[in-house]
Chain A
């Protein structure tokens, strides 16, 4: 506790870095998933291929993934972000595609009957109605990304893992506790707030 009070600026900086790399990765993964997910919603073959490929990426152990990227991109933030994006894709592509497919055909037909173009149907009917499922995917992805970011400190990406690794190498327990508990709190907070958003969207689209 005393350590935390004396070093709160260091903790704050690590937390800030953690949030920045997590949000960057989520934003990139979201953009890719939206494109691939919309495509996959219309074509079963694309859906299957996307799930198989991203499913394998998702299975690779975090530290092994970061390590395998070192010969290609070296150490640092880019390495961590590529890894975090790769881990988010399976869940987010699946949820975008499943969410769009879950929109009742009658609603889409009604939109077409009103003279909407394909793009209008997508942006004004399908995506809004799929939003709760898409946010559910975003929720799992955000927890995954926060978890990966802890390990990514080992490849010099910064973040809360830095405190943990420094604590382990200097055998300094308060540092370990602070880093680990802050990371846990961040993951739980992200999970709960996106659960709220999901719930609110569900009540609005129901």
Chain B
């Protein structure tokens, strides 16, 4: 049975498996953190501008359509192989959904609510922090969720440019046609991706402001 063979492979090489899993999680978490740290402030900033917003949105829309593997492959001739180039490529891939959702979410906050806040004497920064961001949070989190799943998925492809992670087992498994080894990469990667989606789905619901929860 293939599944038993795959399990035995893990039991026989626990260090290799945990190492790959650890790299996969570290690579994904680092890329997502960097992407949030860049795309969220940029998204907030462009929501108050006209021309910069157009340029950023157009760029993000194009970025969103680019195939993950193509982006990873384009980074390689420039930055070489390994963890850092993979991290760079995955961060690029994670930014568009976060940026687009942040921008859209802030745009969708009712102007009346913002007016009321201004009438109460709030400063521009206070309005952003206490009114706009909390109301925009669920949509922003939906973007982060999309990005998170994309990053965990993309990290499987990072194996091609030496980024390590669970993709290593898959590429080795395909190269040698060693089916159990292939499953050692594919099944945990699938579970990790589905788990990430569920986790962020839960966070997204938890982000709904108490006043808006039905």
Which residues of chain A have a CB within 8 Å of any CB of chain B?
56, 59-65, 67-68, 70-71, 75, 143, 146-147, 150-151, 154-155, 161, 164-165, 167-168, 173, 176-177, 179-181, 183-184, 187-188, 190-191
Q: Are B66 and A67 in contact (CB under 8 A)?
A: no
Name the B residues within 8 Å of A188 (CB-CB): 62, 65-66
Assuming the contacts A59-B193, A59-B197, asked whether A67 and B67 have C-beta atoms less than 8 A apart, the reply is no
Assuming the contacts A62-B157, A168-B161, asked whether A184 and B70 have C-beta atoms less than 8 A apart, the reply is yes
Q: Are A155 and B174 in contact (CB under 8 A)?
A: yes
B21 on the A face (CB < 8 A): no
B140 on the A face (CB < 8 A): no
Indicate which residue in B66, B179, B187 contacts A70 across the interface (CB closer than 8 Å).
B179
Q: Are A146 and B2 in contact (CB under 8 A)?
A: no
Name the A residues within 8 Å of B111 (CB-CB): none
Name the B residues within 8 Å of A181 (CB-CB): 70, 74
From B71, B73, B179, residue with most partner A Cβ within 10 Å: B73
Name the B residues within 8 Å of A68 (CB-CB): 183, 186-187, 190
Indicate which residue in A61, A150, A168 contacts B67 across the interface (CB closer than 8 Å).
A150
Q: Are A64 and B190 in contact (CB under 8 A)?
A: yes
**Distance in Å from the Cβ of B58 to the closest Cβ of chain A?**
11
Q: Are A164 and B70 in contact (CB under 8 A)?
A: yes
B57 on the A face (CB < 8 A): no
Name the A residues within 8 Å of B74 (CB-CB): 176-177, 180-181, 184
The CA of A23 and the CA of B41, in the complex, are separated in Å by: 39
The CA of A147 and the CA of B150, in the complex, are separated in Å by: 12
User: B175: nearest residue on chain A (CB-CB)?
Assistant: A154
**Distance in Å from the Cβ of A104 to the closest Cβ of chain B?**
24
Q: Interface residue count for B (Cβ, 8 Å)?
A: 41
Which residues of chain B have a CB within 8 Å of any CB of chain A?
2, 61-62, 64-71, 73-74, 76-77, 149, 152-154, 156-157, 159-161, 166-167, 170-171, 173-174, 179, 182-183, 185-187, 189-190, 193-194, 197
Q: Are B69 and A67 in contact (CB under 8 A)?
A: no
8 A-B interface contacts by CB (under 8 A): A59-B194, A61-B152, A67-B170, A143-B64, A180-B67, A184-B71, A184-B74, A191-B61
The CA of A191 and the CA of B2, in the complex, are separated in Å by: 40
Name the A residues within 8 Å of B182 (CB-CB): 67, 70-71
Indicate which residue in B71, B77, B189 contacts A177 across the interface (CB closer than 8 Å).
B77
Given A65-B186, A180-B73: 7 more A-B contacts, CB < 8 Å: A59-B194, A67-B174, A154-B171, A154-B174, A168-B73, A183-B67, A184-B71
Q: Are A64 and B77 in contact (CB under 8 A)?
A: no
**Distance in Å from the Cβ of B126 to the closest Cβ of chain A?**
38
**Distance in Å from the Cβ of B106 to the closest Cβ of chain A?**
23
Indicate which residue in A56, A164, A167, A184 contacts B66 across the interface (CB closer than 8 Å).
A184
Name the B residues within 8 Å of A179 (CB-CB): 70, 73
Q: Are B185 and A64 in contact (CB under 8 A)?
A: yes
Name the A residues within 8 Å of B166 (CB-CB): 64
**Distance in Å from the Cβ of A195 to the closest Cβ of chain B?**
9
Name the B residues within 8 Å of A61 (CB-CB): 152-154, 156, 189-190, 193
